[in-house]
Amino acid sequence: MKGGHFITVAGFTAVAILRICFACYAVAADSSARQPDGARGAVIAAQGVGTGVPACAQCHAFNGGSDGTGAFPRIAGQPVQYLVAQLRDFASGVRSNAVMSPVAKALSSDDLAEVAAYYANTSAPFLPLKAADQTLVKRGEQLATFGDESKQLQSCNNCHGPGGAGEPPTIPYLAGQYAHYTAFELQMWKRGYRKNSPEAMLQIAKKLDDRDIQAVAAYFQQVLGSSQAATMTKE
Amino acid sequence: MAERLKPVDVVTIGVGLTGSLSALELARTGLKVVGLERGAARFTVPDFQSPAIHDELRFSIRKGMMQDNVKEAVTFRNSSDETALPIRRWESFLPGTGLGGAFVHWNGQTFRFQIADFIYKTHIEQRYGKEILDPELTIQDWGVTYAELEPHYDRFEYLCGVSGKAGNIKGQIQPGGNPLEAPRAREYPTPPMKEPYFAALFRKGAESLGYHPYPQPSSNLSQPYTNTEGLRLEQCVFCGFCERYACEHYAKASPQTIVLPKLLAMPNYELRTNCQVLRINLDSTGKMATGVTYADGSGREFEQPAQLVLITAFPLNNVRMLLLSGIGKPYDPKTREGVVGRNYSYQTTGGPTVFMDESININPFMASGANGTMIDDFSGDNFDHGPLGFIGGQYVGAIMTNGRPIEFHPTPPETPKWGLKWKQAVAAHYNHTILIQQHGTSTASRLNYLDLDPTYKDAWGLPLLRMTFDFPENDIRMSQYIADRVVEIGRAMGGKTVVRGGTRRPYTTTAYQSTHNAGGAVMGDDPKTSVVNRYLQCWDVPNVFSIGGSAIPQNGAYNYTGTIGALTYWALDAIKNQYLKSPGPLVHA
């Protein structure tokens, strides 16, 4: 994606010349609603809202990097539209999680937009993490980059971008995401608990066996930041 | 001297749509089948994956998936008193090469022809009398009817998983579909694609004028589908890289997604890539093929003996293979005798550009190859031609296949062709412009034909195919009449500026029009006016079948892939159930 020749919109590639057009469109589409600036979102992230919405930072950290357990996803800098969609899906039950569902339900529509806007604009360092088995990472790289013809399985990067960099506004980055989280979500799709993206992620997850899931998760975790950590761990 | 290989039962020349479908059918009967493909092997994984597949310069501009015209070009001229020159860069039409052929880089627009198309001469003369026909026109019946092909259309559509809405099921008109279509046995395998905004605007405009809009049938699927071979297709993601590209998402029907995994798993099928077939060999009587001679990638020649030879190349190359092999009498435009190369026809395309207000956002980059809304009110013989003085017609639709940066930059007519003003116009109109397609018939004429070029040769020293073609005046009158009707639709859609379309003479090969090159080895009931019989079997050499678009006697209004699929299954049905039981001519002239 170097050089900015393309922007991608929900997997749709467009020329840079469109940036202006699309920006106009986005503004026009949202002009009826108040523009979230993320400032109030930061307060919600730090302190929560009244009852029912604890501080997001408790799990995701104030910078959106979460912690090294991988129990909570890294959300720093994810596209705002993606974050809003996930919160709405948690609220509606299309996506289900014992912690996130009640939180998302308790958020007002405005607060939801605010907190999404806040985390979309944060950046967080990549924590030093234990290196995964290199054979597993290699298999993950193969699936991420090329897919697997024997399973009629396309590459992850077709939609998630080169190296899993993300394809805003709807497709999240996977680069540097915690392996534990990525693997868990793929299992949720595969087993039918996660119901958003039935046309794409459900179909793909069904073609992945448990080792494939471990492999892609391990690969994407080490794409950003963790390679240095991996070397350090070895030494 | 060519090395003689172990004999096999069947050879297919080309492994694209017709070659892979035919091979699977025949391999299932237990025959030993060899597929000879001139291009390279290629598969969804790893060859079609992103980001490499979204290389517009490589695939759209430099025609990365097309026949290598450094090795094998086509020469072209408008009329037989001119000297033909080789087409050095494909623009007007794009013959594919490589495993899967043109069925890899197609757009997925999957239609059936009309009932009248198959009995065209009979139908036109009955309805209008012979007087409506210009004297140079050479239309004829196909020798097969729509009713005979219907089950094969159905089978092919369920193989591809076509997304669409039926308009006529067994004579019952279906709301939401095309009420003017020929009756089909059942609904499409998958529901139609979602209607984009530009298509919704077309629907509104067309409806306000009393026309009958319907969703274009698409082989880029609206939802995941398991096909009749048990192979899985995924849902299209509207990436906007369909025509001229291969699909990375397993969402477009192609040999790679719908046939090859089954075929390549069969022990009695062998695929050989980078094998250029030079000729079909005949025995001393000239009435029986003994096999083929081909050259591999290093130039070594091999003779592959076979009981049955299927020519399953791109339509133009089917004709060339017959000419190079001396099968059938070449057409002579002076005496009007001979058949091979006769009735080459093309298609009339090119509709208006509709410039909308800047408040209307089209987002053309969210596109799929066959995702639009269209009308058949001016298609084929769906309207009364009596007072108009021409035959044929066009479908009309808002079908926008891409918003790719190099190819898509519509600007109004007064715009300079380069510089700051051009750039400003591109930025102003990119997201607010709708292209409408006129896509229709091209009538066969005694003046248009294919033969071998007397001067230019390919990389193997064999004469190139020579194309002599211009649109018959009939087609120009037809296209110009419809162009006026479509301008009315553009205005009804709210277009601020509508730039009129329509086909004009002379035909030129330097702008893209259509890859539906048809005819040249046409089917029929009379050996004097056809190369192959109704089962696509060569009249002169009964163990050679020429399968594909080359059999179409004159082109219909529609993209012909669906019809080629149906014809292939129809021919294979006859081969399996009649020919293999008793090899020999299936029709006695």
Find, among A234, A180, A193, A186, the residue nearest to A66 by Cα.
A180
Mean pLDDT calculated for residue range A200-225:
95
* Closest residue in B to A167 (Cα–Cα): B239
Q: Do A147 and B46 make contact, defined as CB atoms within 8 angstroms?
A: yes
A→B interface, C-beta within 8 Å:
5-6, 9-15, 17-18, 20-22, 25, 28, 145-149, 152-155, 157-159, 162, 199-200, 203
pLDDT tens by residue, A82-116: 999 999 999 999 999 999 999 999 999 999 999 99
| A233 pLDDT higher than 50 | no
Chain A positions in Cβ-Cβ contact with residue B223 (cut-off 8 Å): 199
Instruction: Specify the CATH number of the domain A39-120.
Output: 1.10.760.10
Instruction: For residue B236, give how far its alpha carbon lies from the nearest alpha carbon of chain A (Å).
Output: 9
- For the ranges A35-49, B225-239, B429-443, B572-586, which has the lowest average pLDDT? A35-49
* Closest residue in B to A26 (Cα–Cα): B361
In this prediction, residue A20 carries a pLDDT of 37
- Within-domain flag for B488: yes
| B506 pLDDT higher than 70 | yes
**Partner-chain residue, chosen from B44, B223, B231, that has the shortest CB–CB distance to A199:** B223
A52 falls in which pLDDT band (50, 70, 90)? confident
- Within-domain flag for B589: no
| B28 pLDDT higher than 80 | yes
Q: How far is C-alpha B15 from the chain's CA centre?
A: 16
Q: By the CB < 8 Å criterion, does B527 face chain A?
A: no
Instruction: For residue B201, give how far its alpha carbon lies from the nearest alpha carbon of chain A (Å).
Output: 18
In the numeric block, which tokens belong to residue B371?
């995702």
Mean pLDDT calculated for residue range A51-55:
90
**Partner-chain residue, chosen from A20, A153, A154, that has the shortest CB–CB distance to B427:** A20
Q: Do A9 and B366 make contact, defined as CB atoms within 8 angstroms?
A: yes
What percent of chain B lies above the pLDDT cut of 70? 100
Strands B372-375 and B394-399: antiparallel
Q: Which of B229, B359, B365 to mutate to test the interface with A (most CBs of A within 10 A)?
A: B365
* Closest residue in A to B237 (Cα–Cα): A11
A34 falls in which pLDDT band (50, 70, 90)? low
**Residue B535: CB partners within 8 Å, gap ≥ 6?**
B545, B570, B571, B574, B575, B578, B579, B586, B587
Q: By the CB < 8 Å criterion, does B52 face chain A?
A: no
Chain A positions in Cβ-Cβ contact with residue B54 (cut-off 8 Å): 13
CATH number at residue B163: 3.50.50.60
Q: Which of residues 394-453 of B touch A (CB under 8 A)?
A: 403-405, 426-427, 430-431
Instruction: For residue B263, give how far its alpha carbon lies from the nearest alpha carbon of chain A (Å).
Output: 14
Please give the interface size between A and B, counted as residue pairs whose CB atoms are below 8 Å apart: 98
Chain A positions in Cβ-Cβ contact with residue B249 (cut-off 8 Å): 154, 158
A37 falls in which pLDDT band (50, 70, 90)? confident
Instruction: For residue B226, give how far its alpha carbon lies from the nearest alpha carbon of chain A (Å).
Output: 12
The C-alpha R_g of chain B, in whole angstroms, comes to 23
In the numeric block, which tokens belong to residue B109?
């627009």
Mean pLDDT calculated for residue range B218-228:
98
Place of tokens 């995701």: A60
- For the ranges A3-17, B485-499, B522-536, which has the lowest average pLDDT? A3-17
Q: Which of residues 112-141 of B touch A (CB under 8 A)?
A: none
Find, among B317, B313, B340, the residue nearest to B538 by Cα.
B340
Q: Do B234 and A200 make contact, defined as CB atoms within 8 angstroms?
A: yes
Q: Do A199 and B224 make contact, defined as CB atoms within 8 angstroms?
A: yes
Q: Are B564 and B327 in contact (CB under 8 A)?
A: no
**CATH domain A134-234 topology:** Cytochrome Bc1 Complex; Chain D, domain 2 (1.10.760)
| A232 pLDDT higher than 60 | no
Mean pLDDT calculated for residue range B216-235:
97
In this prediction, residue A17 carries a pLDDT of 36
Our count of domains for chain B comes to: 1
In this prediction, residue B265 carries a pLDDT of 97
Topology alike, domains A39-120 and A134-234:
yes
In this prediction, residue A175 carries a pLDDT of 97
- Within-domain flag for B585: no
Domain segments of chain A: what residues? 1-32, 39-120, 134-234
In this prediction, residue A9 carries a pLDDT of 36
Q: Do A17 and B232 make contact, defined as CB atoms within 8 angstroms?
A: no
Instruction: For residue B359, give how far its alpha carbon lies from the nearest alpha carbon of chain A (Å).
Output: 9
- Quote the domain boundaries for residue B289: 3-579
Q: Which residue has the higher pLDDT, A223 or A29?
A: A223
SS3 content of chain B, % helix, strand, coil (to 5): 25, 20, 55
On average, the pLDDT of chain A sits at: 85
Place of tokens 């597929």: B35
Query: Which run of H or of E encompasses B25?
Result: helix B17-27
| B445 pLDDT higher than 80 | yes
- Within-domain flag for B292: yes
pLDDT tens by residue, B171-206: 999 999 999 999 999 999 999 999 999 999 999 999
A46 falls in which pLDDT band (50, 70, 90)? very high
* Closest residue in A to B364 (Cα–Cα): A14
**Partner-chain residue, chosen from A152, A157, A199, that has the shortest CB–CB distance to B50:** A157
Chain A positions in Cβ-Cβ contact with residue B239 (cut-off 8 Å): 11-13
On average, the pLDDT of chain B sits at: 97
- Within-domain flag for B586: no
Chain B positions in Cβ-Cβ contact with residue A6 (cut-off 8 Å): 405
- For the ranges A114-123, A223-232, B565-574, which has the lowest average pLDDT? A223-232
**Partner-chain residue, chosen from B45, B363, B366, that has the shortest CB–CB distance to A149:** B45
| A19 pLDDT higher than 70 | no
Q: Do A152 and B224 make contact, defined as CB atoms within 8 angstroms?
A: no
Instruction: For residue B414, give how far its alpha carbon lies from the nearest alpha carbon of chain A (Å).
Output: 21
Q: Angle CA(B31)–CA(B33)–CA(B34) in degrees, nearest 5?
A: 165
Active-site amino acid positions of B: 516
Chain A positions in Cβ-Cβ contact with residue B427 (cut-off 8 Å): 17, 20-21
Q: Is ipTM over 0.90? A: no
- Within-domain flag for B584: no
Check residue B210 and give left, alpha or beta (phi > 0: left; psi -120 to 50: alpha): left
Mean pLDDT calculated for residue range B148-152:
98
Rounded to whole angstroms, how far apart are CA atoms A104 and A112?
8
Q: Do B431 and A149 make contact, defined as CB atoms within 8 angstroms?
A: no
* Closest residue in A to B46 (Cα–Cα): A146
How would DSSP label each residue in B445-478? BTT-EEEEEEEEE-TTSPEEEEEE----HHHHHH
Mean pLDDT calculated for residue range B114-129:
98
| A33 pLDDT higher than 80 | no
Find, among A192, A214, A215, the residue nearest to A203 by Cα.
A192
Q: By the CB < 8 Å criterion, does B49 face chain A?
A: yes
